[in-house]
Structure 1
């Protein structure tokens, strides 16, 4: 038996409740808060991802000022806060970069790196130039197409006259 008083009456709800949810950028976000809100937590398991999102949501996330040492390769290559492994080691060993467990990685590192490579290969300026060049070549082709159709019409007229 317990010696605590009031255990049976402890079934009521919470006495004081917040009317509105906490916002980490309520009074104008600082650059650190903006950066933390925009950060994508990749290479971690679902539990670690939830922990990191909670830290960002309630202003507990503190970013790194200097790179940390990786526990696998022992180099100062860890750039993300709360991670214990660098990206190459986590990708190679298929481990969570935060806890180091062999859990299923939610957002893998290689997908993000692949997307960055595609963007690097084709800068925005070149895309516009390619679109412009394609547009100009289409305009140049149109008069030639009309000439081809014009020849066909003249051929059709001559065939009609022959019959």
Structure 2
């Protein structure tokens, strides 16, 4: 039927239809899959972004094990899979990092750099909060240790007075 020349009209419906869509993290709950699903595809054109999202959606996206060589600067600086131009070169030349064409970039690379600086500032403020909490906990721990020492001293005094009472009653 499909091999007949000029026969482009199909007369019947699809024989097998899926009851549910494919989920790439249904059985594979590894850290690598979570990292791939959370990846932001920046510095690429709309077509390349759709291709990369399709690869992620159907578990065809594979991470790089080591950096690749950039075709512009010839340095091993390409850290994203399926890209052929490093981010600094793509940003400087204003081209897609995957296909190399001068097309409109959907998510610019600079936005990610600003977000990372915001994230770093949040991390430092969180670090300060953690330090404060640690100082409070350490001071609480010290107070707790002092209380334990006082209790141990009281127990020793009670124990020694109790043994004195036993020895005195044993003598009589």
TM-score strictly above 0.5: yes
Per-residue CA deviation, residues 65-114 of structure 1 (Å, 9 max, x unaligned), is 01000011000000000000111001111110000001100100001101
Q: Which runs of 5+ in 2 are unaligned?
A: 133-172
Larger Cα Rg: Structure 1 or Structure 2? Answer: 2
Q: State the partner residue of 2:56.
A: 56
Count of residue pairs the alignment pairs up = 128
Structure 2 CA distance for aligned equivalents of residues 110 and 52 of structure 1: 20
Q: State the partner residue of 1:26.
A: 26
Q: State the partner residue of 2:127.
A: 125
Kindly state the Cα deviation for residue 33 of structure 1 after the two structures are TM-superposed: 1.2
Give the 5 Å matches for 1:1-163. Answer: 4=4, 7=7, 10-122=10-122, 123=124, 124-126=126-128
Structure 1 CA distance for aligned equivalents of residues 4 and 109 of structure 2: 51
Q: What RMSD in Å do the two structures reach over aligned CA positions?
A: 2.3
State the 4+ residue runs in structure 1 displaced beyond 6 angstroms.
127-130
Q: Which secondary structure does the structure 2 equivalent of 1:61 belong to? A: coil
Structure 2 CA distance for aligned equivalents of residues 109 and 86 of structure 1: 11
Q: Which runs of 5+ in 1 are unaligned?
A: 131-163
TM-score when normalising by structure 1: 0.71
Structure 2 CA distance for aligned equivalents of residues 80 and 115 of structure 1: 18
Question: Which 10-residue stretch deviates more, 29-38 or 17-26?
Answer: 29-38
